Every structure is written in C-alpha cells, then in structure tokens.
Structure 1
C-alpha cells in the first residue's frame, strides 16, 4: 500500500509511515490533473491546508481509505464527498493545541503593549517610550468565542494570569465551562463584556463573517485576537473599526486570503498586529501533528478505528482492546440478519446487553450497519454505512441494558420491514471466541465462518438426515452443524457450516419436502 503526501510535514511523520511498511510518495506541487493521476492508486493521503481535496479527487481515488489532515482545520476537504465514497477524514487536533494557545497569549500581550510597533520604531532609531501606554491583562475580561481544545487552553492560561473568562459556545455544557473557570454567556453578551476577545471556532457557512460591522460596535474599546481560522472576522469591518477608534486594537494570525495581499486594509493601521499564520509553527507542534496524522493513517490502513475521525465513529485507544472483538461480532450479525430477511430492509436495531453496555459503542453500531448493507452495496464501510442508512430511509436505533440473562456481554442486530423481522445475537466464548448464539429467538451455538446454510423445518425424525443426504448428493460438504428447536415436534432451526455454496437445485429439492420451511445460503466473505 502507498501513501501520498501533498503538503510538507515533519520527517517524523514520514518515518512512522515507512516503519509501518508503507510506500511514501511526496508531491508538494501537485494540482489539477496531476493530482488526480497521483491519487488514483493511493491508499492514504496526507495534506495540510495547501491541497484542495474536492469531490473530483475522491472520485478519482478508487483505492483511497483515509485522508489525514496534519492540523485542525479541514475546510479544504470535502467531507461529504469523502463520506459518500467511504473515505475516512481525520485531523490532528491535539498536536498544535499548545502552540496555537501560546501564540494567542503572545498576541494578546503584543497588541496590549504595542510590542511590535515599539520594536519597529526602536530598530529604526526612535526612542518612542512616551508614545505607548499599554493595557494590562490582569483584572480584565477575556471573551472566548469557541470553547474547543484551543479555546479551553487559552482560557486556562489567561485565567491563571488574573483575567475573568466569559465564553460563547453552544456545544459545551455549563459544567465543563465552569471546570476551566469560564462563564457561559450568549454571543452578544460575550462581545459586550470582553476587554479582549479571542476567536477559536471552525470556519463554516454559519461562522463565516461572524464578527462584522454590528459586532464591532459591541466590541467598543476592546482588543480582538484571531489565531483560529481566517474568514470569521470581516476584515474590512475590522479595519474600519480600527481607523475610527471603535476597537482599541487587533492581533491576527489568520486571514480570509493567505498570503495576505499587499493592499489589505489591515496593513494600514498600527493598531492591528499581524503575523503570517504562525499559530502552529513550532518545531514540537509540527512534529506532533505529523506523527499523529501518520499514526491515524496507519490505523485506518490496518483496519483499526481512527482516533480523530471526523466522519466516522472513533474509539478511545484504551477502550479498543475491549471493543475490538465486538466490532467483528456486530458486523457478522448484521451480515447474517440481512441475508436471512426476505425483502427490503426498513429498520435496523442494535442492542447491547451486559458489560458492553457501559462502553462507547458508536463504532460497533456503525460496523453492524456495515454488515447489514455489505450484501447490498459493493462499497460500504463504517464510514459511509450510517449515511447509506439515511439515504435509503432505514430507521436505525441503538439500545443498551446492563441486564444480560445468559452472557457477560451480548450484541444483537435486528433487521426488519413491514412484514417481519430477523434478529441475530452474538457474543464471545472464552474471552475471544466469537459465536452466534441466537437466530430469530432460537438458541444456537454457531461458529460464524465462511459459508453457512440456515434451514427451518418441522422437528421430525429423518429431516436432518435428508438435508445431509441432499447436500452430499450435490457435492456440498458439511463442516459443522448447530441445531435448535422451539419444542419437541415444533419448528427447528439448524445452522450448517459448509465448504461450498449450496446449488439452487439442492435448495429447490429440499424446499419441495413439506417438512422443510426454508433453506437460506449465507456467506460472510462475499463469495
């Protein structure tokens, strides 16, 4: 397998890929048709902000498993297109958190004390001591828009320096905000109360131009800092507010257009401090994001959950050993249930019983959906399976209960339509031995492997013998058999592990016997 890297990353990240046995191709100038050609056989792609990963790129990348963004922002990646194509998109949100937070703090001090302006004048021979009367941060109010990882780190650092913290973030709880010393308030209140405002939201259609002319009026006398994403602040409105003295100053590291054009109004005002997108530009941060991104690419290519996947469920590294066996069980149960159901799938219910109910099972549920849709879709995985369910109008529910009658942990996948429903339950025996233990309520002890035949028949002498005889006549070898029944003389269900597919003629011969209700062939490997 090979990984294409189209933006420069630290050598440590490339080393992770090579040490894992992957071929690494770098192409830092690729664009247009050259990019489409290079990506056509790539299994992994690593980018920063310089490469536009569009729907066209995903369509050309038939082998692509994952796109890793060596950094936080992913507005250069079409995540919807990635999801449609079943490609994981992952970023490295932790690697440059400290660097971005420290640069934010540095920018706050720089603009408050006019450090760059005083430095420039002193270097040019002026001793302009009396021209700069700075503002102290101690005792002032910091407004934080976006209390994510970087926002929280900034809040902690400036709280420890004596600032009062107010924050606007509709996606964080009051309890979490309080733990880091911040008071959650509404957006306008955050701007009105802030002596210093720092912005740490992603760039989305909702946040583009979030801080405009009207917001500048709310920020009268304040300092505005943005080390997050360009485009969130209306730069013309900010320049006008600085010109008119509405805001005391601003410090920006990111811009709507980068590099910042020579004619930008931001460059005309001493009160606006600018740096060329240095937030993550520390040696430690670059190495951290490179290795983190590379490790996630390796995980994806080896079929393991990806820690920071943005369009697929992820699993905490410490929980993965406990959940890994149930990922396969859920997928297998989904495959069996889907192939047993006669008709269109309209609903899927995944139920967790026992110890597993205490875990974060989003990835396990996605794997169950993968199993359900794999017999129907040629390209389905845990990334696009939830989207396939939504597109098909399939109702998906998940439930948990700590109660488990017979097993320490049990995963049940039920598929149904308006007519009927089939459920398949799976668990682990002896710690790591996967078993199918119920099919449609019948207690079995089936080993899920390769090819299987499931029969329903009346519980009468000679029926199992007939099934074995007919299979033998058609060259189908039975490797294992697991039988269950409702009651003596009632209906029975039997699971056979077989070495080859059962021919249609054999099925028809068996179903012509009035004692046999149905015969279903199931494959777990797509053949």
Structure 2
C-alpha cells in the first residue's frame, strides 16, 4: 500500500514501513494543491508539526486509512473531519517522553541559574561573576500543570532533588498523583504555591491562553517553564511579567507561532531562556517516534487495532491476541443481525458473557457497530461507527455477565427498531473458528462466511427439500446447512451457506409457498 510521508522522520521508521511491504513516498515541501494531489492515492499519511491535515486534505485522500503523527501534539490535524471519514488518527506519545522531560529539567536549571546568559557574557569577554545570583531547587516547590506522561516523568526527575510537588490536572486519579509524591490542587493554588511552574498539558480550546496576566501575577517571584505546547501561555504578558520583575525568569521551548517571529517581545527580555522547539530533538526520541508511528500505520493497514489511536478504541498490546478473533466475530454478528431486521435501527446492545466479560471490549463493541451499519451502505468502520450511532440517535448499550450456559465466552448483538428485536449470538471454536450459535430463540451451529440464506418456515416434512429444489432451479449451490426448530411441528430456522448470489426470483418462488415464513439473503465480508 501507499504511505505518504510529508515531514522528515528517522530512517528507522521508513524501514519499518518498507519491511512490511508498503511503498513509501516522501514529499517534505508539499502544500496546497500539490499536497491534495499527493494524498489522493495514499493509504496512510505520516506527518509531524509541519503539515496541516485539514478537512480538505482528508477529503482528497479517498483511500486514507490512517494519519500518523510522529510525536505527541495533533493540533495540526482535523480529528473531527478524520473521524467523519473513518480515518484513524494516531500519535506517538511515548517516544519522546524522556527527551521532553530531560529538556524540561535542563530548562529549569538554565532559568534558575542563568546559564545561557552567563555563557553569553563570558563568550563576549565579560567575567560577570557578580551579576548572577542563582536559585537552588532543593526545598522549593514544583508546580506541574498537566500530570500526563511528560509531567509525571518531570516530577520523578525533580522530586529526588528535594522539591515538593503540587499539580493541577482534573483528569488524573488522586491515587496516581500520590504515588508520584504530588499533591493535586486547583490551578490557582498551584500557581500561588509553586516556585517553578512547568506546563505539560495539550493545546485544546480549554487550555489555550490558560496562563495569562492574572495567573502570572499569582506566580510572583517564581519561574515558568514551558516545553509542552505553544499557545497555552500569553507570551506578551509573560515577557512583561519577567521584564518588570513579577517573575524571576522563564524558559520556553514552544511558541504560539513557530518559528518565533523576530519582533516577539520574548526576545527582548534577558531573563527569558528560549530554544527552538528542541524538546524531542534527541536521536533516541526521533527513532522512537518514527518507529512507533510506522508500527501503528502497519497495524492499521493490516486492519488490526492501533495502540495509540486518538479517535478510535484500541486494544492493549497484551490483550490483542485474546481479543482479535472477537473483533471479527463482533462485526459478523452485527452484520447478520442488521440484515435480519426490518426498519430503522433504534437500539444496539452488545453483551459479553463468560471470560470475555473480564476484557476491555471497547474496540470489540465498535466493531459490532461497524457490522450493524455496514449493510446500510454508509462509509463505516470501527473509527466512525460510534459517531454514526450518535449522529443518528441510535442508543448503544454494552453489558457484561460472567454467567454463560454452554460456552467459555459468548458475544451477543441485538438490534431493535423499537418494536422488533433480532439477536445473534456468536462464539469461537478451537481458538479462532467463528460460529453463530443462536439466532433469536433458535439454537444453531452456523459457520458465518460469504453468502448466506436464513429461512424461517413451518417445521413440516418436505420444506427443506422444497428449498433445495428452488435453489437448484436457480443454479444456486448449497454448500452447508444448519437447522434449528422451536418444537416438533412448530417453526424452524435454517441457515444455508451458498456459493453464489441468490436471485430475487428464487426468494419470490420460496415465499410463494405458505410454509415459508421468511427468507433473508445475507452477505458477509468474510
């Protein structure tokens, strides 16, 4: 498949893609119409911060399966548009964590000890020993805004220096903060308490401009360090606060607009240390993010779950082997249930029984929804299926129980139009051999594959023979048959695997017999 790389990544990542059999095209200067043209036949797109992946780019990329961001920040990618089109967006959050944390620590020391300023003066011929009086970090308080992966790593590195740690992060559990030796507080308390404030939150509408003039006043006498994302700190207010002595100093590696403009007020303040977005600029980090992103692209193109998908459920690597067969089974059960139901789908319930109930099944449920909606001719996959359900007002219910009658694990998909339900139960035999074991109240043992016919009929002699004869009259070969009935003389349900499409005329001939209650022709992707 075609992988388009529009920002430079380490060769190790390109090697991963080529070794998986994919064709890699690089275009580091693409923009405008040239980018749209290049994206048109790409199955995957890999970017860093230099490429804006807009809705227009995503619409041009009809074949796109995934956009991989070789790094953490994805504010240059229209995730909503990607989700609408069923395109996975994935990043590499672990690859540069250590590098970003180490740069944060370096910037903290640089600001607290005026290292760049002293170096510059000495290189200029001045022995300015008496002009710099540094701040020791021992016994001081570190305030962390955003206690995610990088924030946690920074806390781990500065805690042994004797710093007390407070943190503002409304999304982290108090227990996790306690293990890091950090006290969770609100933003105002974090600012007022901190001697050094370090920022590690993503740039979102909620965090844009989070640290402004009043917040900087609350940090009076302290240092502000930002190796996270630009746009979170009001740069003009920061320059003024350091220049007038409200803050002791600051160090920034990221900016609202990059490259930093020559007229930025930050450049005029001696006690502000600036670096040109070097947080992830280590050889190890570049290799890590490149290979991590490439591995996720390879997984997506192989129709496997993606570990760091931002707009789709994912499966933990350790659980992938156990859950992967159920992903396909869930899609199959959803497809069968959907094609058995008449009318608009109003509700979907996915139930997990037995050992499967102990697993994280978010991706499995999304795959069931993909199966439910796929016969309706929407452009759907596990990425956008939950959004499709929400957009169309379809209620989705997920339930679990450890109780199951006959199987170690059982997966059930029920679809409803408000008055009628159709339920399909599936399980796995011998590892990953899919079976449909119940349709509504009928116990079957059907192999879901290719083209299928499901009939409901009176349980009377000669009916199965009639069905076989009609199929034969229309040149449809029956490859397999699985029969179930309510009771002797009641109703029966039979699942047929067939080798070719069943024409409408065959169905009409069958339904003309009073003993035939219902005939459904189903098609599966497997």
| TM superposition score normalised by structure 2 | 0.99
Secondary structure of 1:475's aligned partner: coil
1:377 Cα shift? 2.6
Asked whether 1:216 is paired with 2:216, we answer yes
Q: Which has the larger displacement, 25-34 or 498-507? A: 498-507
Structure 1 gap segments, 5+ residues each: none
1:525, 1:190 → 2: CA distance?
A: 54
- Answer yes or no: is the 8 Å Cα contact 2:342–2:417 preserved in 1: no
- Answer yes or no: is the 8 Å Cα contact 2:92–2:289 preserved in 1: yes
Secondary structure of 1:100's aligned partner: helix
1:131-184: CA deviation from partner (whole Å, max 9, x where unpaired): 111111111111111011001100111112111111111111101111111111
Structure 2 gap segments, 5+ residues each: none
- What's 1:102 paired with? 102
- What's 1:272 paired with? 272
- What's 1:192 paired with? 192
- What's 2:293 paired with? 293
Secondary structure of 2:36's aligned partner: helix
1:460-513: CA deviation from partner (whole Å, max 9, x where unpaired): 222111111211112111111111111111211111111122222221222222
Asked whether 1:115 is paired with 2:133, we answer no
1:419 Cα shift? 1.6
1:313-363: CA deviation from partner (whole Å, max 9, x where unpaired): 111111111001101100000000000001111111111111111111111
1:525 Cα shift? 2.8
Asked whether 1:161 is paired with 2:139, we answer no
Secondary structure of 1:52's aligned partner: coil
- What's 1:525 paired with? 525
- What's 1:405 paired with? 405
- What's 2:20 paired with? 20
Asked whether 1:376 is paired with 2:367, we answer no
2:474, 2:288 → 1: CA distance?
A: 60
1:378, 1:501 → 2: CA distance?
A: 22
Instruction: Write the mapping of 1:390-429 to structure 2, written as runs, cut at 5 A.
Output: 390-429=390-429
Instruction: Write the mapping of 1:216-365 to structure 2, written as runs, cut at 5 A.
Output: 216-365=216-365
1:374, 1:432 → 2: CA distance?
A: 23
- What's 1:65 paired with? 65
1:161, 1:16 → 2: CA distance?
A: 40
1:370-389: CA deviation from partner (whole Å, max 9, x where unpaired): 10111113421111111111
Q: In the comparison of the two structures, how many residue pairs are matched? A: 526
Secondary structure of 1:318's aligned partner: helix
1:231, 1:17 → 2: CA distance?
A: 34
1:507, 1:308 → 2: CA distance?
A: 46
1:350, 1:137 → 2: CA distance?
A: 54
Secondary structure of 1:296's aligned partner: helix
Asked whether 1:170 is paired with 2:167, we answer no
1:52, 1:414 → 2: CA distance?
A: 41
- What's 1:43 paired with? 43
Alignment RMSD: 1.0
Asked whether 1:385 is paired with 2:385, we answer yes
2:88, 2:118 → 1: CA distance?
A: 48
2:347, 2:209 → 1: CA distance?
A: 41
Deviation beyond 4 Å, 4+ runs, structure 1: none
2:517, 2:293 → 1: CA distance?
A: 53
Secondary structure of 1:127's aligned partner: coil
1:61, 1:519 → 2: CA distance?
A: 40
2:525, 2:68 → 1: CA distance?
A: 29
- Answer yes or no: is the 8 Å Cα contact 2:357–2:402 preserved in 1: yes
